[in-house]
């Protein structure tokens, strides 16, 4: 066959694929603007756009919901037991959270009383706390991270988990294969030979999901015996201890929660494990207990929210928008990636119009060039309305923390960007307690001391190349 004919057939096939894919884009793309952009590109440059669409164009994680539905009968008994046992700990209305009814309806995850919450600042404190918890385990350990490295930090926890498995504790390890990369056969075999069950999240499993690589399971969850949990910004790797020469010191924040709300973190892991392994974890404890040493009526009110691209609604975006709209006095945001979607941008602008003290802390150095420059577009727009913008100077700040007024703190895995709001599986801890919020305030004040305020920041006054980098990078915000 002549070469020119082969090329003609090749381009014809892509043109047909572009047309067919355009129909899919019109029916499934989240916004009209996005649908128009895809239709134009798919029909003008199909050779590039068709593969790009099937990798980056999906907004829903295919298969996860159907897997949960397929297992609904076998999971129903455990789920009903768990819900019934938690009822004595549910909060009708936590203090300082007027928008709670919307949050409860959205998340189906209520605030619960009787918890003790510890603020863990940076890697050493977090790793030491998780290690101590693992050593306390008597029945089982659930260990899930977006990034799990086979370095000194990874080997530290590998040794601990293997020791517990040999003591008869059931150990389940779940990692995101896209975030963690590939492990050597020998490294994984050490776990399995000791009885530790370790598996990837399996994002691309299923015939229709081979190109489903734009989604991530970004959660970091550790649960011990259904009694305590750890969630927050830190993964398992040496860089989180400040050993990356380009991004050190590493600044991060984690939570250690004891009490009944730990069972919500457990249920999130439970669902993720079922998607990955297609086997239910039957040996878990679903009987809640107050944190040790607390009496009825004592402890902190806490909520744990799981969100992700398998949800019917855009849970993370709606949750944070609702929380921001509830603020009357203060919104302090610390995030490594600040690319808010339209809804959260509007909520922040409305807060500024109400006279709320809006402060945004983001690192000057960043591990993502595009995010670093795209953020300047959004920071400039909000600074123009009165938001105070700070660059964290003492290394790379990776924490995901929001302080609302004097009584609500949100800490978890959600970055302030479209990827976390819509494309990643995430987990967030919300603590409604003035004492805990005061500790978060002191932590953030210390971060502000290590930051430089960008007074009168205006992107329009920057040089041509800075403006071009910012505006150009912002075009990629839907997938950053």
What is the set of active-site residues? 218, 220, 225, 398, 400, 405
To which residue do tokens 């990034």 refer?
147
Structure token pair of residue 397: 């700040």
Q: Counting beta carbons within 10 angstroms of the beta carbon of residue 12, is it exposed (0 to 12), middle (13 to 18) or buried (19 or more)?
A: exposed
Q: Answer yes or no: are the C-beta atoms of 300 and 433 closer than 8 Å.
A: yes
Q: Taking every pair of C-alpha atoms in the chain, what is the biggest distance, in angstroms?
A: 83
CA dihedral 146, 151, 153, 156 (to 10 degrees): 110
Q: How would you classify the pairing of strands 221-224 and 228-232? A: antiparallel
Q: Counting beta carbons within 10 angstroms of the beta carbon of residue 239, is it exposed (0 to 12), middle (13 to 18) or buried (19 or more)?
A: buried
> Running DSSP on this structure, what letter comes out for residue 148?
B
Q: Which residues have C-beta within 8 Å of that of residue 139, sequence separation ≥ 6?
A: 169, 170, 225, 283, 285
Q: Counting beta carbons within 10 angstroms of the beta carbon of residue 128, is it exposed (0 to 12), middle (13 to 18) or buried (19 or more)?
A: exposed
H-type alpha helices, 290-413:
315-326, 342-353, 369-383
The helix/strand/coil state of 350 is: helix
Q: Answer yes or no: are the C-beta atoms of 357 and 329 closer than 8 Å.
A: yes
Q: Counting beta carbons within 10 angstroms of the beta carbon of residue 27, is it exposed (0 to 12), middle (13 to 18) or buried (19 or more)?
A: exposed
Q: How far apart are CA 413 and CA 425, in angstroms?
A: 9
Q: Answer yes or no: are the C-beta atoms of 117 and 257 closer than 8 Å.
A: yes
Query: Of 166, 160, 172, nearest to 136 (Cα)?
Result: 160
Q: Which residues have C-beta within 8 Å of that of residue 213, sequence separation ≥ 6?
A: 55, 178, 203, 204
Q: What angle do CA 274, 280, 284 make, to 5 degrees?
A: 115
Label residues 384-410 b or e (16+ Cβ within 10 Å = b): eeebbbbbbeebbbbbbbbbbbebbbb
Q: Which residues have C-beta within 8 Å of that of residue 438, sequence separation ≥ 6?
A: 406
Q: How far apart are CA 302 and CA 321, in angstroms?
A: 19
CB count within 10 Å of CB 32 equals 9
């Amino acid at each position: 066959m002549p070469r020119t004919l082969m090329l003609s057939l090749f381009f014809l096939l892509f043109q047909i694929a572009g047309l067919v894919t355009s129909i899919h884009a019109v029916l499934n793309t989240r916004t009209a603007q996005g649908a128009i952009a895809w239709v134009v590109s798919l029909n003008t440059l199909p050779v590039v756009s068709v593969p790009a669409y099937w990798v980056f164009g999906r907004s829903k994680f295919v298969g996860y919901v159907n897997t949960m539905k397929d297992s609904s009968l076998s999971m129903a008994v455990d789920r009903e037991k768990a819900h019934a046992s938690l009822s004595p700990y549910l909060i009708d209305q936590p203090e300082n959270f007027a928008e709670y009814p919307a949050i409860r309806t959205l998340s189906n995850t209520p605030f619960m009383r009787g918890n003790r919450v510890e603020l863990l600042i940076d890697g050493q404190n977090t790793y030491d706390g998780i290690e101590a918890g693992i050593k306390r385990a008597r029945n089982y350990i659930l260990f899930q991270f977006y990034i799990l490295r086979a370095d000194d930090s990874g080997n530290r926890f590998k040794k601990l988990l293997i020791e517990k498995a040999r003591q008869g504790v059931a150990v389940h390890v779940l990692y995101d294969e896209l975030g963690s990369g590939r492990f050597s056969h020998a490294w994984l075999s050490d776990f399995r030979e000791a009885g530790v069950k370790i598996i990837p999240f399996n994002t691309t499993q299923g015939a229709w999901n081979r190109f489903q690589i734009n989604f991530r399971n970004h959660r970091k969850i550790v649960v011990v015996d259904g009694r305590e949990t750890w969630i927050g910004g830190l993964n398992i790797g040496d860089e989180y201890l400040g050993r990356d020469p380009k991004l050190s010191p590493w600044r991060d924040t984690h939570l250690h929660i004891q009490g009944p709300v730990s069972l919500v973190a457990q249920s999130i892991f439970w669902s993720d494990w079922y998607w990955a392994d297609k086997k239910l974890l039957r040996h878990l404890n679903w009987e809640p207990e107050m944190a040790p040493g607390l009496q009825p009526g004592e402890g902190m009110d806490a909520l744990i929210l799981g969100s992700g691209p398998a949800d019917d609604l855009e849970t993370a975006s709606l949750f944070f928008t609702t929380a921001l709209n509830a603020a009357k006095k203060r919104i302090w945001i610390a995030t490594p990636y600040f690319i808010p979607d339209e809804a959260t941008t509007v909520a922040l602008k409305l807060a500024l119009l109400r006279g709320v003290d809006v402060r945004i802390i983001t690192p000057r150095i960043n591990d993502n060039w595009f995010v670093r420059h795209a953020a300047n577009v959004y920071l400039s727009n909000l600074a123009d309305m009165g938001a105070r913008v700070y660059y964290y100077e003492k290394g790379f700040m990776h924490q995901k923390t929001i302080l609302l007024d004097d009584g609500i703190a949100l800490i978890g895995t959600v970055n302030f960007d479209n990827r976390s709001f819509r494309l990643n599986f995430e987990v967030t801890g919300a603590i409604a307690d003035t004492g805990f919020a005061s500790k978060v305030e002191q932590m953030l004040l210390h971060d502000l001391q290590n930051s430089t305020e960008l007074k009168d920041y205006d992107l329009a006054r920057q040089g041509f190349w800075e403006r071009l980098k910012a505006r150009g990078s912002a075009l990629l915000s839907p997938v950053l």
